[in-house]
Amino acid sequence: MHLLGLAAPMRRPIPVWLFGASFLAILAASPLFAQSAKGASTKEVRECPPQGDATKASLKHLNEERARLDDVTDDDVDDSVTMEEICEPGDDSLRWQAGQGVEITAYVVEVHDGGPASSNCHSSRPEDHDTILELAPDAGGVDRSHRFYAVVTPQWRHAVATDHLDWSTGGLRAHYIQRWVTIRGWLLYDPEAEKSSLHTAQLMGPSVSRMSAWEIHPVTALELEDDVLDQQALFYAKSNTSSSAP
């Protein structure tokens, strides 16, 4: 039975604070908020551009070269860039041309995380970092000032993951450290490394931590060489041949 003229009961307005609490609950459940809540900055959450967070034009260009994703073909490879030539002493800043494709065989002495840098927008996440392979001409205990750098970038790490290859720092370390490898990639000269490189440093000392400011950056292919003794013999055979040439 309906009673005409009877007013409907009034609904109480929902408090404003309840809307705010609901919104925060939804936001907290989102992936973006979850990353921020763990201490990641806005810079880390967004994708880092090829030029990184560099402000100088020269460094922006260098980071773009580091981030390149085009593959190195056989026609791109400069055969004059060998481990023997890399080890030649003296100022090597003008020895080669940056951006040239190269392929060398060397011994992997160490593999480590490159850490935050302008090229990765100073991210603290390891998956955003370069992985550095420290290379030597032989398996002897070569000190760091006689090592050559090859760099695996996060761009290439992501690219090869589609082929089920693990180029994470841990994966590369587990598979390649203290083994002979053939490495292909793009040759890059890092002016920021001149003072810490044996071939270009003005003063020798603890700050000299690598052989050359040249590096393979980025690495585009890695191939494990199973016969270590043959590879070492091959290096010394080439070295003796080049040293005895007129």
- Say if residues 210 and 149 touch (Cβ distance below 8 Å): yes
| Superfamily for the 58-244 domain | Nucleic acid-binding proteins (2.40.50.140)
pLDDT at residue 38 is higher than 50: no
Band of residue 142 on the pLDDT scale cut at 50, 70, 90: confident
- Say if residues 87 and 137 touch (Cβ distance below 8 Å): yes
Mean pLDDT of 205-228: 92
Whether this prediction's pTM lies above 0.95 is answered by no
Band of residue 25 on the pLDDT scale cut at 50, 70, 90: very low
> Would you state the structure tokens that stand for residue 9, as one six-digit string?
């009961």
Distance (Å, rounded) from C-alpha 98 to C-alpha 146?
Answer: 21
**Picking from 11-25, 67-81, 154-168, which range would have the lowest pLDDT averaged per residue?**
11-25
Query: 241 or 189: which carries more pLDDT confidence?
Result: 189
Domain segments of the chain as ranges: 16-45, 58-244
Q: What angle do CA 202, 206, 207 make, to 5 degrees?
A: 55
pLDDT digits (tens, 9 = 90+) for 62-114: 999 999 999 999 999 999 999 999 999 999 999 999 999 999 999 999 999 99
The DSSP-derived string for 78-89 is -TT--HHHHT--
pLDDT digits (tens, 9 = 90+) for 110-127: 999 999 999 999 999 999
- Say if residues 121 and 137 touch (Cβ distance below 8 Å): no
pLDDT at residue 166 is higher than 50: yes
- Among 67, 58, 114, smallest CA distance to 218 is for 67
Q: How far apart are the first and last CA of the chain?
A: 117
Distance (Å, rounded) from C-alpha 51 to C-alpha 78?
Answer: 26
- Say if residues 59 and 118 touch (Cβ distance below 8 Å): yes
Phi/psi for 21 (5° steps) reads: -65, -40
Distances 49 to 10, 55, 224 between C-alpha atoms, Å: 56, 13, 32
30 CB neighbour count, 10 Å cutoff: 10
Q: What is the pLDDT of residue 205?
A: 85
